[in-house]
Amino acid sequence: MIQKTSLALLAALAALGSANSAQAIKAGSYSGSAADGTYIAMTVTGTGPFTITGVSVNYMAPCKKSTQIANEGWGFYVGTTIVGKTTDFVSHNDFYYIHATADFSTKDEVTGLIGSRTAVFTTWTTLPTDAAFCVSPTQAYTLKYQGPVAPTPAISAAVLRTEPSK
């Protein structure tokens, strides 16, 4: 009897521990900054598994071949499923390349590393003839949970019927 009770108690405690660890991830918005103070925001959706759907990243990237610093901000869809409590993602196009890790181990917080690359024109007073490669070094970031994201209202459609003219 004691063994059955002990086993049942151990099973209940294990289930409670699993439930509490799963609660570290919440659907909603997270925002904060990178080590250099630039703003980062993330939207997480789902009920488990969770997905990083949207990210906004601002960065300062010192440029090679010039003294310029590219100050840019980009928002993009990610669509990456969070496996366990961590994931990584990359977003890129003709204008930027952003790579990051995301760790949801701490309740109401996302931490990770992020790095960004871009290119800018090197001259501004004449027609541009050259571009500089700019790199924001990989650095730590911390985002805090801001709350749930408001649902997007459904779009309603109407059908108009007209009578043929007589």
Least confident of 38-47, 74-83, 90-99, 153-162: 153-162
- Write out pLDDT tens, residues 57-80: 999 999 998 888 999 999 999 999
Sign of the Cα pseudo-torsion (95, 38, 41, 23, in order): positive
Least confident of 10-24, 70-84, 117-131: 10-24
The number of C-alpha atoms within 13 Å of 45 and in the hemisphere containing its C-beta is 11
pLDDT on residue 13? 39
Is 27 in contact with 50 (CB distance < 8 Å)?
yes
pLDDT class of 11 with cuts at 50, 70, 90: very low
Q: Is the pTM of this model over 0.85?
A: no
pLDDT on residue 152? 62
Least confident of 13-17, 48-52, 64-68: 13-17
Least confident of 50-54, 108-112, 155-159: 155-159
pLDDT on residue 125? 73
Is pLDDT above 50 for 5? no
Is 70 in contact with 60 (CB distance < 8 Å)?
yes
pLDDT on residue 162? 53
- Burial of residue 59 (number of CB atoms within 10 Å: 0-12, 13-18, 19+): buried
Residue pointed to by tokens 């649902």: 151
